[in-house]
Amino acid sequence: MTRDQARECARDILQIIPLVMRTVAAQLRSAGELPAPAHFGLLSILCERPRMLTELASLQGVSMPTMSNSISAMEERGWVRRAAPTEQDRRVAMIEVTTTGRAALERVARSAETHLAEMLAPVDVTSRRRLHNGLGVLRKIFASEPAASAGRQRNRRGRRPYVA
Amino acid sequence: MTRDQARECARDILQIIPLVMRTVAAQLRSAGELPAPAHFGLLSILCERPRMLTELASLQGVSMPTMSNSISAMEERGWVRRAAPTEQDRRVAMIEVTTTGRAALERVARSAETHLAEMLAPVDVTSRRRLHNGLGVLRKIFASEPAASAGRQRNRRGRRPYVA
DNA sequence: CATTTTGCTTAGGGGACCTAACCATTATAC
DNA sequence: GTATAATGGTTAGGTCCCCTAAGCAAAATG
């Protein structure tokens, strides 16, 4: 990729992603799912299988305090549970999704689906395929677990909240 | 698009866009451009030509108070200027970008370019094209100005912060 | 054992959204 | 031609998400 292409791509991302973000967030807000934008991904991950906090922070690319708070918020809503520490290692608290949580995920997905379907309706087939492919690429780029970095408080394994 | 496709697409967007958002925001933060994610688009728009506040709120899909605050923040940084009201209509205050603002935009673009280029480096040509196309579709969908809605405080003309 | 590392939490702060409520200034309606 | 809306903006108050710094307890390591 040439310098110009990189810059164009950067501008595109910087202009478009926040816009999409705002729109989706607004849709969820209006659907009464206030804190969903950040929690949705978490629920998805946790539906797969329970995880520890560090793992979740890594996967989502946020700091551990942030993840701790998010989980606390979701716990209060009854969407997840901090499982009792195991005999193996009493430090870790595995996070599990509850039935309520699964239902919430379903609800949010349905809500988003409705709104997005509306927005996607006027889009032709070719564009939809392009959208799908493009999202796939973004996923590959941003959802992978890049090389670890050094130092405390920096998600040593996996994605980190970009420190320098 | 079938229901299943819509849902899959919704899930993809809900999972991927926030991730990208966080990553990009973190990059800019670490580059010392703290409030850039939201302001970048504004600067881009204003570099084209001055706009009034209402217009900007519409284009960005946010409420007017939000836009007012954003502009105030950017004004404090010296990135934009609230032009003196005209004879024509003393209510409107046109927002103009300053030289400092243009420079900031350039700086942020370069910074983002650097980081993104790094992330995009391991991506093959086909994927890059897909990414580009996909972003184009997103732009078409989310950056267009959809039908107006009714009521005060709701960005009557153009994109609105989704109310119901 | 003393020290470090690891998993997690608490404390404190910032940015970006929102709704509600409030001025001005124009435009409309009797 | 004044009363009444409608329009452009701002202020006030609140939520959510994200961060760094600074703990605390349990495990691993010398």
Instruction: Report if residue A154 sits inside a domain.
Output: no
The answer to whether residues B92 and B52 touch, using CB atoms and an 8 Å cutoff, is yes
Q: Is residue B77 part of a domain?
A: yes
pLDDT band at A152 (very low <50, low <70, confident <90, very high): very low
> Does B23 contact strand D, using a CB cutoff of 7 Å?
no
> How many contacts does A have with B, using Cβ atoms within 8 A?
225
Share of chain A above pLDDT 90, in %: 33
User: How many folded domains does chain A comprise?
Assistant: 1
Q: Given this model, what pLDDT does residue B155 score?
A: 41
Distance in angstroms (rounded) separating the CA atoms of residues B6 and A113: 6
For residue A153, tell me if it sits in a domain: no
pTM for this structure? Answer: 0.81
For position B112, what pLDDT does the model report?
A: 83
pLDDT digits (tens, 9 = 90+) for A85-118: 887 888 898 999 999 999 988 888 888 888 888 8
* Span A23-69, pLDDT tens digits: 888 888 888 777 778 888 899 999 999 999 999 999 998 999 999 99
> A18, B9: Cβ pair inside 8 Å?
no
List the single best residue of B11, B137, B149, B159 to mutate versus A (max A Cβ within 10 A): B137
**CATH number of the domain enclosing A29:** 1.10.10.10
Res. A141: pLDDT tops 90: no
- Residues A141 and B30 sit within 8 Å (Cβ to Cβ): no
**Position A163 in a domain:** no
Task: Flag whether B76 is in a domain.
Answer: yes
Q: DSSP state, B83? A: P
Residues of chain B with pLDDT under 50: 146-158, 162-164
Residue A132 lies inside a defined structural domain of this protein: yes
- Interface contact B144, partner A, CB < 8 A: no
Structure tokens at A68: 């701790």
Give chain B positions within 8 Å (CB) of A130.
130, 133-134, 136-137
Residue A63, in any domain of the structure = yes
In a domain, A94, yes or no: yes
Domain that holds residue A51: 3-142
pLDDT of residue B154: 43
Q: Which nucleotides of D are covered by protein (CB under 7 A)?
A: 7-13, 15-22, 25-28
DSSP string for A51-93: EEHHHHHHHHT--HHHHHHHHHHHHHTTSEEEPPPPSS-TT--
**H or E segment at B80?**
strand B80-82
- Over 60: is that where the pLDDT of A151 sits? no
